[in-house]
Amino acid sequence: MSTPIRRLTSLVRSFSSSATMSQYTNRYIGPANTLEHRVFFEQDGVPVSPFHDIPLFADQNAGILNMVVEVPRWTNAKMEISKEEPLNPIKQDIKKGRLRYVRNCFPHHGYIWNYGAFPQVRQIRVSPKRESPA
């Protein structure tokens, strides 16, 4: 496991309650920074989709949301949840056949925050309002 992933894992554990995070684990397939690299999610050893199976709320009464971190803080690989692949693993984004990386924000390396998505939030397409004849 790479140093940024270890750092992220320890940060997540320190900022989350063990009751909400202990049920989800990651399975890494392929070496990082390759076209084959994938990060799958598991709950109690069973593969799950970050879009469909992880609930939005970690604790609804306290207003605590779950978040799927696609690009951990201080990393450069532009990772995204795959919408096309089964179980929606996280994979590195590709543009013109090449792996994508984010630029550094001097003096920092990579993203200066965790970048990701809330699970089970779907894009709602709203049609433009029609002009009423006057």
How would you write the pLDDT of the chain (134 residues) with one tens digit per residue?
555 444 444 444 444 444 445 588 999 999 999 999 999 999 999 999 999 999 999 999 999 999 999 999 999 999 999 999 999 999 999 999 999 998 887 788 888 889 999 998 765 556 666 665 65
Helix, strand, coil share of the chain (percent; to 5): 15, 30, 60
Q: Is 66 left (phi over 0), alpha (psi -120 to 50) or beta?
A: beta
> So what's the pLDDT on residue 105?
76
Cα Rg of the chain (Å, integer): 17
> So what's the pLDDT on residue 109?
84
> So what's the pLDDT on residue 28?
96
CB contact at 8 A, 88 and 81: yes
CB contact at 8 A, 107 and 58: no
- Note the pTM of the prediction, 2 decimals: 0.71
> So what's the pLDDT on residue 12?
46
Burial of residue 99, with CB atoms counted within 10 A of its CB: 0-12 exposed, 13-18 middle, 19 or more buried: middle
> So what's the pLDDT on residue 7?
47
Residues 42-46: contacts with CB within 8 Å, 24+ apart? none
